[in-house]
Amino acid sequence: MDDFQRNAVKQMLDYIESHLSFPISLYQLAQTGGYSAWHAARLFKEATGTSPFSYIRSRRLAAAAHQLGVGKQNIIDVAMDFVFDSHEGFTRAFTKQFGMNPSDFRKALATYHARTAQLTISEGEKCMETVFVQVIDRMERKAVVKFAHKASDYFEYCEEVGCEIWDTLGSIKGALFEPIGMWMPKNMRKLGTGEYVQGVEVPVDYKGEIPEGFDSITLPACKMMVFQGPAYEDEHFEQAITNLWELMKTYDPKLYGFEWADEDGPRFQLAPMGYRGYIEARPVRALNQN
């Protein structure tokens, strides 16, 4: 992709950001980028890894989630503000994106704020990035997981058990949320297994099929502080993860009434997807909790 094409995609992205509350057609995006509708869609997917309309929906849902966290509007009003034509359609899309429906999201939102952090990027320059932080309640549930013997991170895990595990986890019917990578605390590790596992959460009464070579474990109810970094180009996913990790190292949950509680549950990461930013969560406990 040459500079002219990158600029066209940037213009389309800027147009989307300034029109999240308005209908957006592929023709309008193509006009903004200066290409035919077919060519504009192809360039957009090449640059972002997703189609224009998938990206638009994800950005609208992220903006709606922010509005639910900071505002007092009715859910249907938030849905209409971001061009969803029904409460049901908005709820389905929101649940698929965030793992809980809008009502539960609002109830579980113990804190929601944006923090601007100064981070060092690889070239040694400084940049300002906005990271959204929220605390959610995770109910008691089970997880269908594939253990490794020594892995402590994603790359070691793939070397040991392969990288196709994610597809198997994504095919499990009845899952509560999307697959995750988890760093298991010592008190929750199975004997002879490593720190890092991949799995998918299912209801505590799950009776479905467990794929061969996988296990079912119970995860206790806990609170999770979820960090969501800014959107990034997919080829820069490692830098996006590093940036968020650097912020999490210095983040003090006590400023917001919480403390780290790593023994309460596994820290987890969602699959890195540039359009939504890198997302990772760490267990916390309210300071006034006995």
The DSSP-derived string for 41-106 is: HHHHHHHHSS-HHHHHHHHHHHHHHHHHHH----HHHHHHHTT---HHHHHHHHHHHHSS-HHHHH
Whether 160 contacts 116, CB under 8 Å? no
Q: What pLDDT, on a 0 to 100 scale, did the predictor assign at position 108? A: 58
A 10 A CB-CB count for 63 gives 16
Which of 3, 2, 10, 4 lies closest to 44 in space, CA to CA? 10
Fold classification of 3-107 (topology level): Arc Repressor Mutant, subunit A (1.10.10)
Contacts of 29 (CB under 8 A, 6+ apart): 12, 15, 16, 37, 40, 41, 44, 52
Token pair in block for residue 90: 């908005």
284 φ, ψ (degrees, to nearest 5): -135, 165
Token pair in block for residue 230: 């800014």
CA distance 32 to 264: 49
Taking the C-alpha atoms of 181, 246, 262 and 61 in order, what is their torsion angle to the nearest 10 degrees? -60
CA distance 156 to 237: 17
CA distance 243 to 220: 29
> pTM for this one?
0.60
Which of 198, 214, 194 lies closest to 206 in space, CA to CA? 214
Q: What pLDDT, on a 0 to 100 scale, did the predictor assign at position 152? A: 93
208 φ, ψ (degrees, to nearest 5): -75, 180
Q: What Cα–Cα distance (Å) separates residue 95 from each residue in 89, 213, 257?
A: 10, 29, 27
Q: What pLDDT, on a 0 to 100 scale, did the predictor assign at position 76? A: 93
Furthest CA-CA distance within the chain: 62
CA distance 175 to 191: 26
CA distance 31 to 192: 58
Which of 18, 249, 10, 247 lies closest to 127 in space, CA to CA? 247
Query: Which stretches of the chain score pLDDT less than 50?
Result: 110-128
- Report domain extents, the chain: 3-107, 110-137+221-286, 140-219
Which of 244, 226, 228 lies closest to 276 in space, CA to CA? 228
- What are the DSSP E strand ranges found in the chain? 112-120, 126-138, 141-146, 180-183, 196-202, 215-219, 222-228, 258-260, 267-269, 279-286
Q: What pLDDT, on a 0 to 100 scale, did the predictor assign at position 130? A: 66
